[in-house]
A = this chain, B = another copy of it.
């Protein structure tokens, strides 16, 4: 995209936006602000921004001492804790690139990420050593491993080598480091995105990308030094949805969740209440479980003013109303992707809509993905790439462009098909924008069912299906049809004891929300639905398996 040069403002060049500055400036003003980190045994470790920054400088010196240089890639395989936070700043501050390793990937995918990125070292949590061991034989260029542990290395039995102790390296290093004046377009971190097909694709975020997004998030949420930010989103997921960086910019108190799964949510809810959390983020399932614990509490906590960023999928109204009515907490729907660095929308009410809309309509509005945050360009385009009006009805592919949205995959041919020449990322999501700017995602473009020139949302139908009490899981795909191009097919896993449910019962349930022509031609009761390695419905596999169903049947 052509750039027009105007009158030159400053011949002396520009000041570079480096992520380490978020921390440097924070400690100038907020050195005494607290950071809390939940340890493996559930106890809480506490220190300050000032103490953390000292360890970041030690880390930078330590990395240099083992030979890590500007531009080197270093993998991180770790839970949410204060050391991971130190790595967020101390590692890229040296000019090296932090490669976020998703500990839930298969060894095949994970080793692909390590090899494709040219990762030289991996920093790994003690209890994730087995994950590192599973890929070590596949990654010949790895030079070493830094283990985050409170133990002495001699107590740790591993096939990895050479190994260093994170704490030992830090204790031997100097506590002062002179950060290089990095070009802001240098890579800060790499996150690999895993689809249902093909190899993981590398998205490399620059220091500039991360810096500007941190400012945006702090401004638009907003966050201040009076906030308490609970880091629940795994920090290996799209930079932990940007909260550690934005909180640092704002000087907010930070709480790291430690290692957790759904069984720990009662304990984490207690932490949230005890530490008076005001900002957090998670997927709906996590907040749903937390709400259940809050419902059971005898003394309801006061979470008024607390903003819970909810992404990944649409938060149900019951969840949003539940938090609001039980304890005054507000769920804020947000939408994003790896390529767009997670935060592209936030759902806030506008003062005039609060006056104009009924309560029910406001809750419905809250289910939408929200308005595109200032800073980003957006387009909704039809199949020919032509822009659609913002009428809240017409649905097309969502294209995004802006100061933190990537314009390419690293060393991957998929760049050509996923990015436009004028710098837009083709999200692969279908949706509409209304006249107030609220985005509503209707489906993945590839999962939209195109029937006789009209679109049917597979996600809307799945949501309707799982709202029926007999349905445990459901998948809806479009499969080829000789007359209508595609027609919907429904797969359902019934709950135990509900095996006698009829297809007509399901069809009748759907007809409450869907027009007759949208109803599925076939409903199949199955024992299980194919899923991808990260647990998403594998619609590609379903479409493949049933591709001839309507052609054969002529339904």
* A471 lies within 8 A of chain B by Cβ: no
Segment from A177-185, A266-274, A319-327, A542-550 that makes contact with B: A177-185
User: Nearest B residue to A251 by beta-carbon distance?
Assistant: B374
Nearest chain B CB to A216 CB, angstrom units: 7
Nearest chain B CB to A133 CB, angstrom units: 27
* A375 lies within 8 A of chain B by Cβ: yes
* A405 lies within 8 A of chain B by Cβ: yes
> Do residues B5 and A371 form an inter-chain contact, with CB atoms below 8 A?
no
> Do residues A6 and B222 form an inter-chain contact, with CB atoms below 8 A?
no
> Do residues A374 and B249 form an inter-chain contact, with CB atoms below 8 A?
yes
Residues on B with C-beta less than 8 A from A73 are 7
Also in contact, A97 and B403, with CB within 8 A (given A25-B376, A29-B372): no
> Do residues B219 and A10 form an inter-chain contact, with CB atoms below 8 A?
no
In this complex, the member of A3, A180, A351 whose beta carbon has the largest number of chain B beta carbons within 10 angstroms is A3
Also in contact, A186 and B403, with CB within 8 A (given A216-B215, A250-B219, A375-B21): no
How many copies make up the complex?
A: 2
Question: What is the CA–CA distance of A393 and B377 in the complex, to the nearest angstrom?
Answer: 48
> Do residues B15 and A403 form an inter-chain contact, with CB atoms below 8 A?
yes
User: Nearest B residue to A26 by beta-carbon distance?
Assistant: B374
Question: What is the CA–CA distance of A372 and B30 in the complex, to the nearest angstrom?
Answer: 11
> Do residues A6 and B182 form an inter-chain contact, with CB atoms below 8 A?
yes
> Do residues B187 and A7 form an inter-chain contact, with CB atoms below 8 A?
yes
Q: Which of B11, B16, B24, B96 contacts A3 (CB 8 A)?
A: B16
Question: What is the CA–CA distance of A403 and B22 in the complex, to the nearest angstrom?
Answer: 13
Give residues of chain A (242-291) contacting chain B, Cβ–Cβ below 8 Å. Answer: 249-251
> Do residues A186 and B7 form an inter-chain contact, with CB atoms below 8 A?
yes
Residues on B with C-beta less than 8 A from A13 are 1, 3, 407, 423
Question: What is the CA–CA distance of A70 and B222 in the complex, to the nearest angstrom?
Answer: 36
Also in contact, A407 and B219, with CB within 8 A (given A29-B374, A97-B6): no
Nearest chain B CB to A77 CB, angstrom units: 20
Nearest chain B CB to A536 CB, angstrom units: 27
> Do residues B407 and A25 form an inter-chain contact, with CB atoms below 8 A?
no
Also in contact, A187 and B372, with CB within 8 A (given A4-B182, A182-B3, A215-B215): no
* A529 lies within 8 A of chain B by Cβ: no
Give residues of chain A (25-49) contacting chain B, Cβ–Cβ below 8 Å. Answer: 25-26, 28-30, 32
* A301 lies within 8 A of chain B by Cβ: no
Residues on B with C-beta less than 8 A from A296 are none
User: Nearest B residue to A21 by beta-carbon distance?
Assistant: B375
User: Nearest B residue to A407 by beta-carbon distance?
Assistant: B12
Residues on B with C-beta less than 8 A from A226 are 351
Count of chain A residues with a beta carbon within 8 Å of a chain B beta carbon: 83
- The proximity string for A residues 219-231 relative to B, scoring 1 for CB distances below 8 Å and 0 otherwise, is 1001011100000
Residues on B with C-beta less than 8 A from A3 are 13, 16, 181-183
Residues on B with C-beta less than 8 A from A222 are 219, 222, 224
User: Nearest B residue to A421 by beta-carbon distance?
Assistant: B12
User: Nearest B residue to A97 by beta-carbon distance?
Assistant: B7
* A436 lies within 8 A of chain B by Cβ: yes
> Do residues B14 and A204 form an inter-chain contact, with CB atoms below 8 A?
no
In this complex, the member of A96, A205, A352 whose beta carbon has the largest number of chain B beta carbons within 10 angstroms is A352
Residues on B with C-beta less than 8 A from A100 are none
* A311 lies within 8 A of chain B by Cβ: no
Residues on B with C-beta less than 8 A from A70 are 4-6
> Do residues A6 and B187 form an inter-chain contact, with CB atoms below 8 A?
yes
Give residues of chain A (351-400) contacting chain B, Cβ–Cβ below 8 Å. Answer: 351-352, 371-378, 390
User: Nearest B residue to A69 by beta-carbon distance?
Assistant: B6
* A312 lies within 8 A of chain B by Cβ: no
* A2 lies within 8 A of chain B by Cβ: yes
Nearest chain B CB to A32 CB, angstrom units: 6
Also in contact, A215 and B225, with CB within 8 A (given A8-B185, A71-B6, A403-B14): no
> Do residues B10 and A407 form an inter-chain contact, with CB atoms below 8 A?
yes
Residues on B with C-beta less than 8 A from A215 are 212, 215-216, 219, 375
User: Nearest B residue to A433 by beta-carbon distance?
Assistant: B28
Also in contact, A14 and B224, with CB within 8 A (given A7-B204, A180-B4): no
Residues on B with C-beta less than 8 A from A29 are 350, 371-372, 374, 436-437
Given A9-B205, A28-B372, 12 other A-B residues pairs in contact with their CB atoms under 8 A: A2-B181, A3-B181, A5-B182, A5-B186, A6-B182, A10-B204, A25-B376, A32-B436, A212-B212, A212-B215, A219-B219, A219-B249
Task: Show 13 residue pairs from A and B whose CB-CB distance is below 8 angstroms, ordered by the A residue.
Answer: A3-B182, A3-B183, A6-B187, A7-B72, A9-B207, A9-B209, A12-B419, A13-B423, A21-B374, A25-B376, A28-B378, A30-B350, A212-B212
Which are the 8 A-B pairs with shortest beta-carbon distances? A6-B186, A219-B219, A9-B206, A12-B407, A9-B187, A222-B222, A29-B437, A25-B374
